């Protein structure tokens, strides 16, 4: 018997998306015949590659610099030791992510193309794994659900943002873990639950459970959001057989403990970072947190049905005005869950299971737990990267069910509507992906839709400064600084605004103002190599050579293999007339960077009294 016929035989049992009283039951197989799986795989892959094609010209945005470009731990193989065994070595303890970054950096360095290609391929693989899991659950419209997940416009933020590799890796390993776990507890019950109760209790297959646990651990090491998977698996087990056996619960107990441990580590890092998540900006009352969570719940669902506009930063809701009618958001969310639960015998377990999966996945970022981005927004598209599956599966299964009543036209109607939906979403995702080709273009679009947010102003201003430096247009740099000044008026003394203003002054040759801003930033991030070097350069520009050398020495002590710092120290010593020290540091620089061997050690123009711009 062919694989496709065997699959059709396995999926001939009823699915609980339909009333238990009977009717024509649907399977999760959207393609018929022996070519079902290859055709589905090829279609999903092609759909993703076409949709995200504009990302071939994608740039680095936002915190890609912090996570990758200036992260020395991913630039050297020896950094892996710190990535895995030092919690403070990276912005978050996600060692799988930084290990992949380390490999990628050694493959294509600072070229953005390779990183975007990896993200797109991971999205293809994750969508295929989702289809695999949904077919195991016998969900109707499984392929359409996977396709919607693959190309929905809200996913562009994750796929197009290099630093969001953490989301992609987390989902990739989560779906592997889910599929293996479902294989570890095979579906043995009969078509009716009364018959199933008399069957022998199923036994766990260790050959599948151990790989599932390994994949779950990798998911946690990619992003802590994976801690929700054990609870999601309990929901899926209940969805599949209307019960959760004690053996199944205990098999998930180690996962629950691993998830709690990972969550505590992340909370510790968030609270102990230089920015932290404590203070008045996160001091929400319990009532305010319920309202924020309710608004976020419906916001995310709304974006799935009307994904326009999609912004990197959405307006932050005014906490001081929360209350009164806004209680309708959390009340409606709870009401939806209660209603679906009460109707489960009539409409099936599918709807309540889907919304539970959505709610559990999105729960950690609804606002009950403090996280850094609450400083400037309560919601973000990449927060529902995994959670959106619950709603999208419900849409796909609902469409399959609705068109099944069209008689002989049911298949054609289903595929026609599906193609229209996928084509429109793909077109919008294509346009959204094109925004990622230029940080200034992306942040300009965000600024147009959210001009009063201080982080929007800071990010837009910083992108214009970078553009001005790259194109050698001081006017563009000054334009970017005006947005940074506007941000500072809204939110004074914000460290990211300070450092970007400092860099603007630095590249304009206004070194005293640059020094002032760099000093303010270094109070919050004293180990920043780039800012410390620019601070030292600024000191040298105003002829404070001793102070500049002191900063360079601190950088060299923390980064002994930083060739540029050694070169700068050699130049400063040459200015001071200490040729022996100059030669000593020049030799160190050449040893670390042999390509500089042909460079003659001389006093650079930017260190002379009449210098203006650094070379």
Query: pLDDT tens, 451-470?
Result: 999 999 999 999 999 999 99
Residue 219 and residue 135 share a domain = yes
Residue 481 and residue 424 share a domain = no
According to the per-residue pLDDT averaged within each range, which of 213-222, 272-281, 399-408, 603-612 is highest? Answer: 213-222
CA distance 303 to 75: 38
Residues 6 or more apart in contact with residue 312 via CB below 8 angstroms: 61, 62, 157, 380, 442, 443, 446, 459
Residue 509 and residue 411 share a domain = no
Residue 575 and residue 484 share a domain = yes
Q: Last residue of some domain: 392, 409, 434?
A: 434
User: Is residue 335 packed enough to be buried (19+ CB in 10 Å), middle (13-18) or exposed (0-12)?
Assistant: exposed
The arithmetic mean of pLDDT across residues 98-127, rounded, is 95
Residue 443 and residue 429 share a domain = no
Q: Which residue has the higher pLDDT, 91 or 261?
A: 261
pLDDT of residue 192: 33
Which token pair is 447? 């600024």
Query: How many residues in total does the chain contain?
Result: 615
Q: Flag whether 115 is in a domain.
A: yes
Q: How many other C-beta atoms are found inside a 10 Å radius of the C-beta of residue 594?
A: 9
Residue 211 and residue 151 share a domain = yes
Number of domains in the chain: 2
Q: Flag whether 26 is in a domain.
A: yes
CA distances from 205 to 180, 188, 210 (A): 10, 13, 9
Give the lowest-confidence range in 182-191, 220-229, 526-535.
182-191
Q: Flag whether 144 is in a domain.
A: yes
Residue 237 and residue 212 share a domain = yes
Q: Flag whether 31 is in a domain.
A: yes
User: What SS3 state is found at 234?
Assistant: helix
Give the lowest-confidence range in 6-20, 117-131, 429-443.
6-20
Q: Flag whether 349 is in a domain.
A: no
Domain span at residue 430 reads: 3-188+201-273+401-434
The arithmetic mean of pLDDT across residues 251-255, rounded, is 95
Residue 247 and residue 223 share a domain = yes
Q: Last residue of some domain: 386, 412, 434?
A: 434
88-125 burial: b if 16+ Cβ within 10 Å, else e: ebbbbbbbbbbbbbbebbeeeeeebeebbbbbbebbbb
Are 569 and 551 within 8 A, CB to CB? no
Residue 120 and residue 23 share a domain = yes
Give the model confidence (pLDDT) of 337-389 as tens digits: 999 999 999 999 999 999 999 999 999 999 888 888 898 999 999 999 999 99
pLDDT of residue 535: 87
Residue 41 and residue 140 share a domain = yes
Q: Which of 106, 147, 113, 101 is nearest to 436 (CA)?
A: 113
278-302 burial: b if 16+ Cβ within 10 Å, else e: eeeebebeeebbbbbbbbbbeebbe
Residue 559 and residue 603 share a domain = yes
pLDDT at 593 over 80: no
CA distance 182 to 187: 8
How many CA atoms lie less than 13 Å away from 555 in the CB half-sphere? 26
CATH of the domain at 529: 1.25.40.10
Residue 244 and residue 110 share a domain = yes
């Amino acid at each position: 018997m062919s694989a496709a016929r065997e699959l059709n035989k396995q999926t001939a049992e009823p699915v609980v998306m339909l009333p238990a009283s009977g009717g024509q039951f649907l399977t999760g197989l959207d393609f018929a015949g022996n070519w079902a799986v290859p055709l589905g795989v090829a279609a999903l892959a092609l759909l993703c590659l076409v949709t995200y094609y504009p990302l071939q010209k994608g740039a680095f945005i936002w915190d890609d610099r912090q996570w990758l470009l200036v992260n020395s731990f991913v630039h050297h193989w020896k950094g892996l030791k710190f990535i895995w065994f030092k919690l403070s070595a990276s912005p978050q303890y996600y060692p799988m992510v930084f290990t992949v970054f380390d490999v990628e950096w050694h493959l294509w360095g600072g070229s953005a193309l390779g990183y975007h290609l990896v993200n797109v391929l991971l999205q293809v693989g994750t969508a295929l794994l989702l289809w695999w899991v949904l077919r195991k659950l016998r969900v109707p419209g499984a392929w359409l659900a996977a396709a919607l997940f693959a190309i929905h416009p809200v996913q562009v933020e994750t796929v197009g943002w290099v630093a969001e590799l953490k989301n992609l890796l987390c989902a990739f390993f989560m779906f592997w873990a889910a599929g293996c776990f479902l294989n570890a507890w095979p579906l043995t019950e009969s078509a009716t639950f009364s018959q199933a109760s008399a069957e022998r209790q199923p036994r766990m297959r260790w050959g599948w459970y151990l790989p599932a646990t390994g994949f779950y651990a990798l998911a946690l090491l990619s992003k802590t959001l994976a801690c929700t998977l054990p609870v999601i698996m309990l929901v899926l087990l209940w969805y599949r057989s209307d019960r959760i056996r004690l053996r199944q619960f205990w098999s998930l107990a180690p996962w629950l403990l691993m998830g709690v441990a990972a969550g505590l580590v992340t909370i510790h890092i968030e609270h102990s970072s230089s920015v932290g998540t404590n203070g008045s900006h996160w001091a929400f009352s319990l009532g305010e947190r319920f309202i924020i969570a309710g608004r976020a719940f419906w916001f995310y669902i709304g974006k799935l049905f009307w994904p326009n506009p999609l912004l990197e930063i959405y307006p932050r809701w005014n906490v001081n005005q929360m209350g009164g009618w806004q209680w309708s958001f959390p009340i409606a969310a709870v009401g939806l869950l209660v209603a679906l639960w009460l109707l489960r015998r009539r409409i099936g377990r599918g709807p309540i299971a889907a919304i539970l999966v959505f709610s559990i996945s999105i729960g950690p970022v609804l606002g009950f737990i403090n996280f850094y981005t609450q400083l400037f927004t309560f919601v973000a598209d990449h927060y529902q990267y995994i959670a959106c599956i619950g709603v999208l599966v419900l849409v796909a299964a609902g469409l399959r069910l609705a068109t099944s009543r069209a008689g002989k036209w049911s298949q054609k109607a289903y595929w026609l509507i599906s193609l229209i939906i996928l084509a429109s979403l793909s077109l919008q995702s294509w346009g959204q992906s094109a925004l990622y080709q230029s940080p200034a273009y992306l942040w300009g679009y965000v600024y147009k839709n959210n001009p009063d947010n201080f982080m929007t102003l800071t990010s837009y201003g910083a992108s214009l400064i970078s553009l001005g430096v790259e194109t050698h247009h001081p006017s563009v740099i000054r334009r970017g600084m005006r947005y940074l000044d506007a941000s500072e008026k809204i939110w004074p003394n914000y460290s990211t605004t300070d450092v970007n203003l400092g860099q603007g002054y630095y590249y304009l040759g206004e070194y005293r103002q640059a020094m002032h801003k760099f000093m303010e930033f270094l109070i919050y991030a004293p180990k920043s190599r780039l800012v410390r070097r620019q601070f030292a350069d600024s000191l040298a520009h105003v002829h404070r050579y001793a102070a500049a050398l002191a900063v360079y020495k601190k950088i060299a002590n923390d980064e002994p293999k930083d060739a540029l710092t050694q070169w700068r120290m050699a130049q400063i010593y040459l200015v001071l007339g200490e040729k022996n020290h100059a030669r000593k540091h020049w030799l160190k620089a050449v040893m670390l960077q042999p390509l500089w061997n042909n460079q003659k050690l001389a006093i650079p123009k930017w260190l002379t009294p009449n210098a203006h711009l650094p070379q």
